[in-house]
Structure formats: C-alpha cells, structure tokens
C-alpha cells in the first residue's frame, strides 16, 4: 500500500484516545513516580506483586472511546518504567508473568477494538527506560540532572551503557511481539528519541515496516529528519497557532497528569475546552489524541468519563465537520471561530455567537447556508466585493437561536471546491497577524540556514543578511501597536536573547530588542516594538530584518509572527 493510502484512515479519524496505564497506576502518583521518587529497581519491581486490575473491562473502554467519537486507541505497551503491559518473552516484569492478574490485557483490548471498528495502536518508549542498565541517560541539559531523565541512582556509570545492547535485547524482540500477537496495529507510537542515532532508529523503523507495512510510525522515533516516519507528533499538549504543513497530531491530557493521579492539583479540562481544542486542531489539519489515565484496578475515572460523554454528544451532532475534513483554506483564521472543509462544503465553527459574522476572501458562489444541527434552519447571507475587486467579503446574519455552549456549526454549500484568496486580509477584529508561514523568506547570507520549521515558525535565523517580508490588505485605517512573537525554550536551558530587530511597515521604521522576559517555558514571547499608522485601505507591505543576532547559544532568532493591534477606534471600511 502506498504511503498516502495507508494514512487515509488516520486522516479521516481526527480524534483518538491515548491511555497511560501501567503498574505505576497502583500508586496513583502519575507515570513518572519511579523517577520522581528515585525508587530503586528492586523496590519498584515489588509493585507488580500488588497490581491486580480486576475491574478492567476492555469492552467498556472501547465503548467509552467510541461514544466520545474517537476512532483509534493508543495505549502504553511499555512506558519509561520498563513494565510491559503485555505478554513478552523478553522479560518477566510484565502483566502476565509478574502480577496476580496474570492475563494479557492487550489481547482483550485488540478483540474489543476489532469488534467495534476502532484501530488499536501501541505506545512504546524505545530509548528512555529506568529499569534496563543500558537504556540511555546521558544528555547534557542541566548540571543537576542526568539529561535523559534516566536512572542514575541504580546505574550511575554512563560510560558502561550501550544503547545498541538495549535495542537488540529488548526493543526489537518486544516490537516483534507487539506486531505479531495482536493482529493489525494502526500506529507504533514511539516516544523520547533522545540520543538514538539515525541508523539505530532506522533499524526499528525497518522492523515495523517488515512486520506490518501498513502500521504508521510517528516522528518521535528519531530527532533526525532523515529517518522515515509517517506523521509528526507535536510536543505534549502543544497546539500550534498556524498550520504545520504536514500530517500531524497533538497528544493532550484530559487533566493535569497523564497517568492516574490522586494528589492535589490534578484539574480536569472543561468540556468546552476539550471541544474547542479538537476543533482548533482539526481546523489546522491535525489529529487530537486525548489521554485518560485508568486507576490501578483498571477503571477510567468517572470525571474523565463524564467529559468524554459530553464531547461525544457534541460529536454526534457535529462530527461531520471534523471527520475526514481538511484544515482551513484561508490565510488567517477569523476572530469568531475556526473553519474546516470537506469537498464543496465549508464548516464555520462559531465560538462567539453574534448578529453578523464575516468571511473574507471566498471567491466561490455560495448556494446555501444553514446550521448543521438543524439543516432546515437557513441563514441569510450577502456576498460582495470591493469596487476595485481587491477582496471578497461575505456577511452572514446569524439567527436568534440558542447557540451550542461549546461551538455552533454553520455550513456553507459552495459551487465547486473552495477557491480562496490567499492574501492576508484584515477582518472586522481589526488585528493584523503576519505569521511566519506566510512570509517571503529572503536568503541573502552566504551559507544561509534560515527556514520554516515543521511546526510553523522560522528557525535557524543566524545571519542578519536574511530577512522576511509580507504583503497584506488593510480594510480599516488607524493607529496600531506592532509586536513580535518569538520562541522561547525550556526553563532549564539558557536561550538566546539580545537580538536587535528592525520592522518596516508601509515605509515606517521601528527598532526593538528581543530580550528575556517572564514568559512561560516553551510559550511565545511578545516583544512590543512601537506604534505605526495605516492611513488608507488597500495593499500594504511589511518587513522584518535583524540588525544583530546574538549567536551565543546557537539558537538564533526564533520567529513566529508580526502582529498589529489597533490602538483606537479606527475607521471601518465600506465595501
């Protein structure tokens, strides 16, 4: 089967269940309890003697996932603690041979998934492990931590560790078992590649391709782009602000922790947040892999079940606007919500219900407009163009009906596939966002490495000769505050700051310094540059140049977007 064909089911699904479950669930302190408490291997192994999930019901789990609208399940076959949740000959520390339960939960789950038409997929931690003496730990990130968060209390001598031994003695035999004992596997979901060499990662990929050619592999198998994978796994709970540009998935937790946790501070996301995360991700062309953490007896917590039932009720009505859709074809996303597309239909996911919403840049004629939950409820609309036909605008008069508490769907039936102007057009929110993925990249430095990263930002910007530019359409003149959004790194790493940036907007020049702030780790940092004035409607241009890039830590300038926010009331353009 061709690579694109074998991903068809995954693209159609859009929504899956992640399950973090293991012997650690017995303690109710999350899946990282062994590392966090520095539990010696011999002590941790005793947990297996108490692990007896007698309330585990594979059919019930699959029913919960299916009723939530999920199409596939990814379950932790082996997490970082080294305990195998399946029958394996590689080691006795597994649920069949090492616990009072004594049964293979994966066999039951595979049968239940097959009966209900869900794809069964396996999570497998292939480099980081706290039980095996040859699993990696060494990766310099902080003087107080052994980099890969490995087991340095039992195995302190990093020089004696040989990852190839671990791969050959443990990973490969277990992957062979997972891919031959449970029927078709939808995804082999690898985690934490750390310092695995590309050739070593390729050995694992080749084994999966040999045993199950149709099984998908996520990008966490290796950090090296030369290693073949099928789709990109973003960071944990990471939702990008712009399209990624490839097949991708966000792993997300339904609450604070991934594994079962009974301590303080384990807050559940609201149903509204979960639905809107699903919609946000679908509107960018991605998949939403939502995690639950069953307890030590094998039950999915009641609060998680409640949230999933509520999401499922929404999906029963609106799933057409999620399953099998593509991301928004528009250059920017509207302030009132999100957009997905399927065939000749546009789905407007309206977050903020109001009298009138506007859609800019749609060239197709619209044949019909209605609410998805009530197809008989037709909606009035008007399509128009500016006198000079610089852009098209559609005004949609929303009816006075009680909107959905999470997200209301408005459907546009078009003449033909969507034909959308890719110009950046200022909408009624009056904000103008010039994202990295819409910039023209001018590589003028010798040996330039600047590029658009697979997550949508500009990376490898080391040379001041390189620069970015945009063209966009102003509809509402006025005074604007200009800001840059730039990348930050984990708190435990020093990051590059001290860049000097020049912004030119329609002939007006602003200078600013990208310096450290109290930004959250891995969150974009906002750098205010100053005010400019846009005096007329129509075509406008902007440039971002770096007069100085600090290369001290070799991260360069990580750029996400240039944003213009209105300062005063401005003027509403008439079309």
| pLDDT tens digits, one per residue of 232-284 | 999 999 888 777 778 999 999 999 999 999 999 999 999 999 999 999 999 99
Structure tokens belonging to residue 92: 């006795």
403 DSSP 8-state letter: P
The mean predicted confidence, pLDDT, of the chain is 91
Per residue in 520-551, pLDDT (tens digit) is: 555 678 899 999 999 998 899 999 999 998 87
Contact 525, 488 (CB under 8 A): yes
pLDDT of 571 over the 60 cut: no
Q: Which domains does the chain have, with CATH numbers?
A: 3-321 (3.20.20.80), 328-422 (2.60.40.1180), 432-566 (2.60.120.260)
Query: What is the spatial distance between Cα 401 and Cα 235, in angstroms, rounded to a whole number?
Result: 39
The CA distances from residue 187 to 10, 267, 278, 509, in Å, are: 9, 29, 20, 50
Q: What is the 3-state secondary structure (H, E, C) of 71-121?
A: CEEEEEEECCCCCECCCCCCCCCECCCCCCCCCCHHHHHHHHHHHHCCEEE
The CA distances from residue 203 to 163, 225, 227, 228, in Å, are: 13, 15, 10, 11
Reported pTM:
0.90
pLDDT given at position 573: 46
Instruction: Please give the full DSSP string across 162-174, using - where no structure is assigned.
Output: -HHHHIIIIIHHH
Query: What is the spatial distance between Cα 167 and Cα 134, in angstroms, rounded to a whole number?
Result: 9
pLDDT of 142 over the 60 cut: no
- Between 154-163, 362-371, 532-541, the lowest mean confidence (pLDDT) is in 154-163
pLDDT given at position 148: 63
pLDDT given at position 140: 42
Listed in sequence order, the residues at least 6 apart from 83 whose beta carbon sits closer than 8 Å to its beta carbon are: 22, 23, 24, 48, 93, 94, 95, 98, 131
DSSP H helix total and E strand total for the chain: 11, 29
Among 54, 129, 57, which residue's Cα sits nearest to residue 93? 129
pLDDT given at position 137: 60
With vertex at residue 132, the alpha carbon angle to CA 31 and CA 253, rounded to the nearest 5 degrees, is 20
Per residue in 309-362, pLDDT (tens digit) is: 999 999 999 999 999 999 999 988 898 999 999 999 999 999 999 999 999 999
Query: What is the spatial distance between Cα 10 and Cα 1, in angstroms, rounded to a whole number?
Result: 14
Higher pLDDT, 452 or 568: 452
pLDDT given at position 212: 98
Contact 338, 320 (CB under 8 A): no
């Amino acid at each position: 089967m061709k690579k694109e064909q074998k991903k068809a089911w995954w693209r159609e699904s859009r929504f899956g269940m992640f399950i973090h479950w293991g012997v650690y669930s017995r303690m109710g302190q999350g899946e990282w309890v062994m590392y966090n408490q520095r539990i010696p291997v011999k002590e941790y192994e005793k947990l297996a003697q108490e692990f007896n999930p007698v309330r585990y019901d594979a059919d019930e789990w699959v029913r919960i996932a299916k009723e939530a609208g999920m199409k596939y399940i990814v379950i932790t076959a082996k997490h970082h603690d080294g305990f195998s949740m399946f029958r394996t000959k590689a080691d006795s520390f597994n649920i069949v041979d090492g616990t009072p339960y004594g049964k293979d939960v994966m066999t039951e789950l595979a049968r239940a998934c097959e009966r209900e038409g869900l794809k069964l997929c396996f999570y497998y931690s292939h480099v980081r492990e706290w039980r095996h003496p040859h699993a990696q730990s060494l990766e310099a990130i902080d003087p107080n931590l052994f980099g890969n968060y490995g087991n340095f209390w039992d195995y302190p001598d990093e020089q004696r560790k040989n990852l190839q031994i671990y791969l050959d003695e443990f990973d490969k035999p277990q992957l062979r078992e997972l891919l031959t004992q449970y029927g078709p596997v939808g995804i082999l979901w690898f985690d934490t590649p750390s310092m695995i060499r590309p050739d070593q990662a390729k050995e694992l990929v080749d084994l999966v391709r040999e045993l199950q050619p149709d099984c998908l592999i996520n990008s966490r198998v290796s950090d090296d782009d030369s290693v073949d994978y099928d789709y990109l796994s973003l960071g944990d709970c990471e939702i990008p602000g712009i399209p990624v540009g490839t097949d991708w998935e966000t792993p997300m937790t339904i609450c604070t922790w991934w594994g079962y946790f009974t301590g303080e501070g384990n807050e559940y996301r609201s149903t509204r947040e979960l639905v809107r995360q699903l919609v946000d991700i679908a509107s960018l062309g991605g998949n939403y892999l939502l995690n639950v953490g069953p307890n030590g007896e094998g039950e999915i917590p009641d609060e998680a079940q409640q949230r999933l039932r509520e999401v499922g009720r929404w999906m029963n009505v609106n799933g057409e606007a999620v399953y099998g859709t593509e991301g928004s074809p528009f250059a920017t996303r509207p302030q009132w919500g999100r957009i997905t597309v399927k065939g000749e239909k546009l789905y407007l996911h309206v977050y903020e219900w109001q009298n009138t919403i506007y859609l800019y840049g749609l060239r197709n004629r619209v044949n019909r407009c209605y609410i998805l939950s009530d197809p008989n409820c037709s909606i009035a609309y008007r399509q128009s163009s500016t006198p000079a036909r610089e852009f098209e605008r559609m005004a949609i008069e929303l009816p006075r009906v009680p909107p959905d508490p999470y997200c209301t769907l408005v459907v546009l039936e078009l003449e033909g596939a969507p034909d959308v102007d890719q110009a950046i057009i200022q909408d009624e929110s009056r904000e103008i966002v010039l994202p990295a993925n819409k910039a023209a990249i001018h590589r003028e430095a010798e040996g330039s490495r600047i590029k658009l990263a697979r997550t949508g930002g500009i990376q490898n910007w080391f040379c001041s000769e390189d620069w970015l530019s945009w063209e966009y359409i102003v509809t509402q003149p006025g005074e604007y505050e200009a800001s840059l959004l730039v990348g930050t790194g984990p708190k435990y790493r020093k990051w590059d700051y001290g860049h000097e940036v020049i912004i030119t907007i329609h002939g007006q020049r602003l200078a600013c310094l990208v310096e450290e702030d109290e930004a959250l780790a891995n969150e974009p940092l906002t750098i205010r540059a100053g005010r400019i004035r846009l005096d007329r409607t129509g075509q406008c241009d902007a440039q971002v140049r770096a007069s100085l890039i600090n290369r001290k830590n070799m991260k360069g300038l990580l750029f996400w977007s240039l944003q213009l926010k209105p300062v005063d009331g401005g003027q509403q353009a008439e079309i």
